[in-house]
Structure 1
Amino acid sequence: MNIVGVAACTAGIAHTYIAKEKLENAARKRGHKIHMETQGVIGVEDALSSGEIETADVVILATDVSISGKERFEGKKVVEVPTETVVMSPNKLIEKIEELV
């Protein structure tokens, strides 16, 4: 499965990057391809390309704040969760997404 997403927490620091790392590890462990963009105090990092979004089977928005560019995901299956859910249970989240897709 191809997964793309955005991680963004309130402060834009710790939970943003922890959520990204945990999601990437959980998805890869189950054999999925994943690319996570971060949005925080230093701006957008690892920005998703339009091609990556187009070929994605699902979009994960691990966010605690509104993000820029959300309209890019129109027409895609989008799963929105707080960063805390990702930090606490990344493997369970990936399993649920597998059921959804």
Structure 2
Amino acid sequence: MKIVGVCACTVGIAHTYIAQEKLENAAKKAGHEIHVETQGTIGIENALTEEQIKNADIVILAIDVKISGRERFEGKRVIQVPTQVAVKSPTKLIEKAEEFVA
């Protein structure tokens, strides 16, 4: 499965990057390809490409705030959760994504 995601927390520091790392590790452990963009205090990092979004089977938004460029995901399957879910239960979140795509 190909996954793209965006992580963004209210402060834009810790939870944004912890959520990114946890999601990437859980997805890779499950054998999936994942690309995660972060939108934090220093702006957008690891910006998703049009190609990555087009080829994605699902979009995971682990966000606590409004994000830039949300319209890029129109027409895609999207799961939106608070960053806390990605931090505390990344494996369950990836399993939910697998069920959603199946």
For this structure pair, what is the TM-score category when the shorter chain's length is used for normalisation? over 0.9
2:41 paired residue number: 41
Q: What RMSD over aligned residues (CA atoms) do the two structures have, in Å?
A: 0.3
1:5 paired residue number: 5
**How big is the shift at 1:56?**
0.2
- In the alignment, structure 2 segments of 5+ residues that lack a partner are none
> Could you tell me how far apart the structure 2 residues matched to 1:45 and 1:71 are?
18
TM normalised by structure 1 equals: 0.99
Letter of the aligned partner of 1:65 in structure 2? V
> Could you tell me how far apart the structure 1 residues matched to 2:5 and 2:11 are?
18
> Could you tell me how far apart the structure 1 residues matched to 2:47 and 2:33 are?
16
Question: What SS does the corresponding residue of 1:12 show, helix, strand or coil?
Answer: coil
Question: What SS does the corresponding residue of 2:53 show, helix, strand or coil?
Answer: helix
- In the alignment, structure 1 segments of 5+ residues that lack a partner are none
**How big is the shift at 1:36?**
0.1
- Between the aligned residues of both structures, percent identity stands at 69
Letter of the aligned partner of 2:8 in structure 1? A
